[in-house]
Amino acid sequence: DGGITQSPKYLFRKEGQNVTLSCEQNLNHDAMYWYRQDPGQGLRLIYYSQIVNDFQKGDIAEGYSVSREKKESFPLTVTSAQKNPTAFYLCASSIVRGGGTNEKLFFGSGTQLSVL
Amino acid sequence: QKEVEQDPGPLSVPEGAIVSLNCTYSNSAFQYFMWYRQYSRKGPELLMYTYSSGNKEDGRFTAQVDKSSKYISLFIRDSQPSDSATYLCAMSSPNQAGTALIFGKGTTLSVSS
């Protein structure tokens, strides 16, 4: 089955700890994204990548880092600099059209991160 | 003014009711309009996709876009308890190289049996 796999489903972070959220897709999509979702806040873009070895900051990148070494994988690290990391994290992917328009996002099932 | 405005609800209706969900936007360059459905603690799934103005129907769901009023709607006919979810509108403009969709904050719908 083609799709986007996020793991783990639940993750707990201790004070001062970095944690990494996994995102893998087998849709052969060029673009991948990380969103953060807080209650009543909607989706906020953290980072996105349109091509391997390249990525751009979204609206709330501070305290987060990413890598894109393979087309299929786009892991997100929540660093100790992110002081309020408790949220639902969503990974998404899309086809990048010629004009750069990135509609039709396909989402993974999410990771709930909580602070111990 | 925010780019996309969406009433968060919650919206509660009885089974069989017609539901109307709406978003307004300010950027006249938007041409791609989507509705996503998100069940609790799950990833959003694409429900409807519309390019530019007009209507699109898929089963019990109808999406409408009125670009002159900068207003989009999603209608659900004969609503079912399984329609209980959060509905997110999303939109984008062409030639936004490297830019993702702009989402509304979502409307929570509850359909009671």
Q: Tens digit of pLDDT for each residue in B42-90? A: 999 999 998 888 899 999 999 999 999 999 999 999 999 999 999 999 9
* pLDDT at site A85: 93
How far apart CA A21 and CA A11 sit, in angstroms, is 8
Distance CA A106, CA B103 (A): 14
What phi, psi does B101 have (nearest 5°)?
Answer: -70, 155
CB contact under 8 A, A101 and B90: no
What pLDDT shows up at residue A62? 96
Nearest-neighbour CA in chain A from B23: distance (Å): 13
Closest-CA residue in chain B for A4?
Answer: B43
* A107 contacts B44? CB cut-off 8 A: yes
Residues 19-58 of A with CB under 8 A from B: 31, 33, 40-43, 45, 48, 50, 56, 58
pLDDT mean over A23-43: 92
Q: Which of A42, A107, A112 sits opposite B105 (nearest CB)?
A: A42
Backbone angles phi, psi at A28, to 5 degrees: 60, 30
- pLDDT, position B99: 61
- Report the residue count for chain B: 113
pLDDT at B96 > cutoff 70 = no
Measured CA to CA, the distance from residue B63 to residue B4 in angstroms comes to 17
* Residue B23 Cα to chain centre, angstroms: 7
* Residue B101 or A56, more confident: A56
More confident residue, A95 or B19: B19
B77 has a chain A CB within 8 A of its CB: no
